[in-house]
Amino acid sequence: MNNPDIGKLVLRLTLGLLMLLHGINKLHSGVGWIAGELASHNLPGFLAYGVFVGELIAPLMVLLGFHTRVGAVLIAGNMLVAIVLVHMGELFSLTQTGGWALELQGFFLFTAVAIFFLGAGKYAVKN
């Protein structure tokens, strides 16, 4: 069976739910450590609250299919910031089992990029 709209829905639900869980965790644990990372790069700590846009609001947009492409760009931007701030030293590293050290971050980033190009599909609130 060939149904691209179901495939887009599966991608949206997967990315949205998995990223949303990270945002919910930050609601509980706070963003202090992110503010510290920003400060170490001479950036203002209040920017840490932007993570709530990239890990709560944007995933909800993607999950619902509400301005999905905007939500996907916000997630991709969130992941680029995370990679630059925290993971640059691992960019070309492998794990002990041979996987890329940034598999999770790469999954979030490239799935968001794919959703940006694919769009929400017909099972969405508003494309």
Inter-axis angle of helices 4-29 and 103-118, nearest 10: 130
How many other CB atoms are there within 10 angstroms of residue 7's CB atom? 12
Q: Residue 41 to residues 36, 82, 102: CA-CA distances in angstroms?
A: 9, 12, 21
Q: What's the rounded mean pLDDT across residues 92-120?
A: 95
The Cα 17–Cα 45 span in angstroms is 27
pLDDT band, very low/low/confident/very high, at 127 (cuts 50, 70, 90):
low
What does R_g of the chain's alpha carbons equal in angstroms?
A: 15
CB proximity list for 114: less than 8 A, separation 6 or greater:
11
HSE toward the beta carbon, residue 21, CA cutoff 13 A = 6
Decide if pLDDT at 126 tops 90.
Answer: no
pLDDT of 88: 87
Name the pTM for this structure. Answer: 0.93
Tens of pLDDT, residue by residue over 57-102, are 999 999 999 999 999 999 999 999 999 998 989 999 999 999 999 9
pLDDT digits (tens, 9 = 90+) for 14-51: 999 999 999 999 999 999 999 999 999 899 999 999 99
Query: In angstroms, how far apart are the furthest CA atoms of the chain?
Result: 52
The overall average pLDDT reported for the chain is: 95
Q: What is the pLDDT of residue 117?
A: 98
